[in-house]
Amino acid sequence: MRDILPPETSRWQWVESVAREVFDLYGYQEIRLPLLERTELFARSIGADTDIVAKEMYTFPDRKGDSLTLRPEATASVLRAVLENRLEKGAGVKKFFTLGPMFRYERPQKGRFRQFYQINCEAFGVEAPELDVEVILLLMHILKRLLPGELRLLVNSLGCPGCQVKFKAALGLFLINREGLCEDCQRRRTTNPLRVLDCKSAHCQEILQDAPVMRDYLCPDCAAHFARVLELLDRFNVAYELKPKLVRGLDYYTRTAFEVAAVGLGAQDAVAGGGRYNGLAKELGGPDLPAIGFAIGEDRLLEVLPLNFGQDHRPRVFVAALGEPARERAFTVIQELRRKNLAAEMDFEGRSLKAQMSLADRLNAAYVVIVGDKELAAGVAQVRPMKKFSYETGGKVKLTEVGAGRTLVKQEPVPFEDLMDYLTGKIRSEETH
């Protein structure tokens, strides 16, 4: 478990605000969900044989004795909320996004945490491959707004349950008399044969060279659906890699499955993953409701995001005051500035002017307003621009770097009654540049 602290938090806010903006462009609306659900929901949706359900859930009884679980993923909760509130009724596609923490009890490592954050997208009610593509376009739209680096989009089709039965049978037959599979795969061979496909062992991959491929087992409908998805991705110039061995960890996926990988994340390099889950609604006792969605791993995304992205560059005003009367005045000045929507700060501890200047510098103040006895008497404050490398010509500055290429910026006397207009004007004009 970990805390997320400033200045890191402003990067999180930025990522989330970009995601919200793009979701809005595509017509998605936010839903907010409980972090706790009845254990049964996850057991039924994710699949009892998956690692998530078998060993990774935070599960405990509540006071009444009902078994509750901290959500290990969002899709099941979203679908539960949709069905409970009859949100699937009515014409057209229903589009939702949600974001927040998920919980899995596993050993943390790079890019993996016990409490981690996802941005989730879920769309219901439309079976057409166009929706698959729109969802992928949406995902790539968000990621490209956020990340400058190259992303690898991996796609595959897992087929419908009919295809999967045939394929699993073929794969099982293929695996049954193969020698030399790693220990894990020997176990998986019976428990979850699909997982053998994406084993990282080089030796297993060698054995799998001529294993049956899902694509050959797709029924005509599934094959046509997948072909159309690929055709549209091409038309929108979305670069993708076909990855026949892409299987996903949750049982409920059907047809289109995809994953986005980024470099620099170590062993856990998937920043987003998703796919169709047409059968899940019925599985949970609802109607036959086609559905597709994805999850972005926010923690991992932040990990590969350059450090300067999403930092707060809002200009601030610092009011430096000397003496008690000046401090009184300064307090009213910063409140006035804040009411004008300008971020403003001052010192409450009676520090020296030098110390206040230094503080202003650390707070990244764009301007310092200096108020002392002289200024109060004259009714005129000194306004000093704090751009890097600016300095006052008359000051006792020993800055050794002063010289080549520095601009001279003098501080200006500004009557108190003009202060607000002066500062708002200065800062607005700088913001537009």
Measured distance between the N- and C-terminal CA atoms of the chain, rounded to whole angstroms: 42
For position 398 contacting RNA by CB under 7 A, the verdict is yes
Structure tokens at 88: 């699937």
- How far apart are alpha carbons 108 and 423 in whole angstroms? 49
Q: Is the dihedral of CA 147, 149, 150, 156 positive or negative?
A: negative
Contact pattern for RNA over residues 410 through 429, marking x by CB under 7 A: -x------------------
- Kindly state the smallest distance separating residue 119's Cβ from RNA, in Å: 10
For position 313 contacting RNA by CB under 7 A, the verdict is no
For position 112 contacting RNA by CB under 7 A, the verdict is yes
Contact pattern for RNA over residues 273 through 312, marking x by CB under 7 A: x---------------------xxx-xx------------
- C-alpha torsion 224→226→232→238, nearest 10: -160
81 or 194, CB closer to RNA?
Answer: 194
For position 189 contacting RNA by CB under 7 A, the verdict is no
- Kindly state the smallest distance separating residue 152's Cβ from RNA, in Å: 12
Q: Which positions ≥6 away from 401 have C-beta within 8 Å?
A: 389
- How far apart are alpha carbons 300 and 388 in whole angstroms? 34
Structure tokens at 24: 């809005």
Amino acid at 416: F
Longest CA–CA separation in the chain, Å: 96
- How far apart are alpha carbons 266 and 302 in whole angstroms? 14
Contact pattern for RNA over residues 131 through 170, marking x by CB under 7 A: ----------------------------------------
- Kindly state the smallest distance separating residue 322's Cβ from RNA, in Å: 6
For position 214 contacting RNA by CB under 7 A, the verdict is no
Q: Which positions ≥6 away from 391 have C-beta within 8 Å?
A: 397, 399, 402, 406, 408, 409
131 or 383, CB closer to RNA?
Answer: 383
- How far apart are alpha carbons 134 and 351 in whole angstroms? 58
For position 199 contacting RNA by CB under 7 A, the verdict is yes
- Kindly state the smallest distance separating residue 432's Cβ from RNA, in Å: 21
For position 354 contacting RNA by CB under 7 A, the verdict is yes
161 or 350, CB closer to RNA?
Answer: 350
159 or 275, CB closer to RNA?
Answer: 275
CB atoms near residue 152 (< 10 Å): 15
Residues in contact with RNA, counted by CB under 7 A, come to a total of 79
Q: Pick from 188, 189, 255, 426: which binds RNA (CB under 7 A)?
A: 188
Stretch that binds RNA, among 87-95, 149-157, 242-250, 414-422 (CB under 7 A): 242-250
For position 250 contacting RNA by CB under 7 A, the verdict is yes
Q: Pick from 13, 332, 358, 407: which binds RNA (CB under 7 A)?
A: 358
Residue among 123, 61, 60 at smallest CA distance from 96 = 123
Binding to RNA in span 362-391, by CB under 7 A:
362, 368, 370, 372-375, 382, 384-391
Q: Pick from 283, 312, 392, 412: which binds RNA (CB under 7 A)?
A: 392
For position 352 contacting RNA by CB under 7 A, the verdict is yes
Tell me if residue 14 falls in helix, strand or coil: helix
89 or 314, CB closer to RNA?
Answer: 314
Q: List the Cα angle 302/264/158 in 5-degree steps.
A: 85
228 or 268, CB closer to RNA?
Answer: 268
Burial class (CB in 10 A: 0-12, 13-18, 19+), 309: middle
Q: Pick from 195, 225, 255, 329: which binds RNA (CB under 7 A)?
A: 195
Residue among 427, 332, 414 at smallest CA distance from 386 = 427
For position 51 contacting RNA by CB under 7 A, the verdict is yes
Residue among 157, 136, 122, 370 at smallest CA distance from 256 = 157
For position 201 contacting RNA by CB under 7 A, the verdict is yes
